[in-house]
């Protein structure tokens, strides 16, 4: 039985961990830590132990795996602390604030012999696996253009996590980290950032809309578009233009709530879907299997570092100094 401790009483923990855990009998949530809401959160979700300091949760000998849902600005510090306390960590995205921080986290995992996994839950769904296998098999022929989009309105609230740059807010960090990773999982090598522009900022200076042009080995050009301006619809989509046709995948992030695969190959169109549970169920299963077998997972090791390096490069190309990092 793997025993999980929740680092932070974050709303995302319900769908990401609590509900998937309830659907299994080989894992248990035993504790939660929050500086302000631990007792209320624990009572609401039937969690046995509530701590009002993060240190207390990390000292709990009955916690094997820590789920870090703190703001991104706190990810590196508390993930490193958890690893040094002998815990494995599932860390929410974005992994850290910068690639340099990510490198320190991954180095600590190697030093301690503990695992740290970035929570890109969509990667573990059969839909994402289908896209990767289709590209790897060469079904589309040579791919020359890709577009990766994640949008969703988020009303500005001063000091709110998603709108405060110093906490890790902004469209690229909150939404764009997903499209960056989709592209990196499909095309080898380190992408070059050809250009980037933030066309909307909030009063705190965070990017509300970011678009970046990337170039991958093999001549693939790609666009990343992230947008949380008020009024923009929710959409997570991947489009690939290739010599044999076109692939459009809608709702990459939450496919269990409805998605579509539109493939036009040699002039013949078809629409399909891929069966699967929630992305979070698949992620939890992969994490537990990885801990049991010792097999490395795709969202750990060098992968989180590379994703943060791409994000760093996009911000630099867009002219963001990011003094808070």
- Based on the fold, state whether residues 131 and 266 are members of the same structural domain: yes
296: phi then psi, degrees, rounded to nearest 5:
-65, 150
- Based on the fold, state whether residues 79 and 66 are members of the same structural domain: yes
Q: Of 121, 137, 158, which marks where a domain is finished?
A: 121
pTM recorded for the entire structure: 0.96
Q: Of 92, 121, 150, which marks where a domain is finished?
A: 121
- Does pLDDT of 197 surpass 80? yes
Residue 298, in any domain of the structure: no
For range 263-277, the mean pLDDT: 97
Alpha carbon distances (Å) from 5 to 28, 66, 88, 299: 9, 5, 10, 20
How many separate helices (H) and strands (E) can be counted in the chain? 11, 14
Q: Of 74, 92, 121, which marks where a domain is finished?
A: 121
- Does pLDDT of 304 surpass 90? yes
39 is catalytic: no
Q: How many domains in the chain?
A: 2
What's the pLDDT band for 309 if we cut at 50, 70, 90?
very high
List, for residues 245-259, the tens digit of each pLDDT value.
999 999 999 999 999
- Does pLDDT of 126 surpass 80? yes
Q: Do 224 and 148 touch, CB atoms closer than 8 A?
A: yes
Residue 271: CATH number of its domain = 3.30.360.10
Q: Which domain holds residue 15?
A: 2-121
For range 138-156, the mean pLDDT: 97
Residue 291, in any domain of the structure: no
199: phi then psi, degrees, rounded to nearest 5:
-95, 0
Residue 322, in any domain of the structure: no
**292, containing H or E segment:** helix 279-293
**115, containing H or E segment:** none
Catalytic residue among 3, 39, 87, 93: 93
- Based on the fold, state whether residues 275 and 126 are members of the same structural domain: yes
Q: Do 226 and 214 touch, CB atoms closer than 8 A?
A: no
């Amino acid at each position: 039985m793997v025993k999980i401790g929740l680092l932070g009483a974050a709303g995302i923990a319900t769908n990401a961990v609590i509900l998937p855990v309830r659907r299994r009998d080989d894992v248990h949530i035993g504790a939660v830590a929050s500086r302000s809401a631990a007792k209320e959160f624990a009572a609401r979700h039937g969690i046995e132990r509530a701590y009002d300091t993060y240190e207390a949760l990390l000292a709990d000998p009955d916690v094997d795996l820590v789920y870090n849902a703190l703001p991104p600005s706190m990810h590196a510090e508390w993930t490193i602390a958890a690893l040094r306390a002998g815990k494995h960590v599932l860390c929410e995205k974005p992994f850290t604030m910068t690639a340099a921080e990510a490198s320190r986290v991954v180095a600590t995992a190697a030093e301690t012999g503990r695992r740290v996994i970035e929570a890109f839950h969509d990667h573990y769904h059969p839909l994402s696996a289908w896209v990767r296998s289709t590209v790897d098999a060469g079904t589309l022929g040579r791919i020359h253009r890709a577009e990766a989009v994640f949008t969703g309105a988020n009303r500005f609230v001063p000091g709110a996590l998603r709108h405060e740059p110093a906490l890790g807010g902004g469209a690229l960090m909150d939404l764009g980290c997903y499209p960056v990773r989709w592209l990196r999982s499909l095309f080898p090598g380190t992408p070059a950032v050809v250009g980037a522009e933030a066309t909307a900022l909030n009063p705190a200076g965070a990017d509300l809309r970011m678009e970046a042009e990337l170039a991958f080995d093999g001549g693939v050009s790609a666009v990343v578009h992230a947008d949380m301006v008020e009024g923009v619809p929710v959409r997570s989509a991947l489009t690939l233009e290739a010599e044999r046709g076109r692939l459009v995948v809608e709702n990459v992030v939450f496919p269990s709530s409805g998605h579509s695969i539109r493939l036009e190959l040699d002039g013949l169109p078809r629409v399909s879907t891929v069966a699967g549970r929630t992305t979070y169920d698949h992620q939890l299963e992969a994490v537990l299997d990885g801990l049991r077998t010792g097999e490395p997972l795709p969202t750990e090791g060098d992968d989180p570092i590379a994703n943060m390096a791409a994000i760093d490069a996009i911000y630099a190309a867009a002219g963001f100094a990011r003094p808070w990092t």
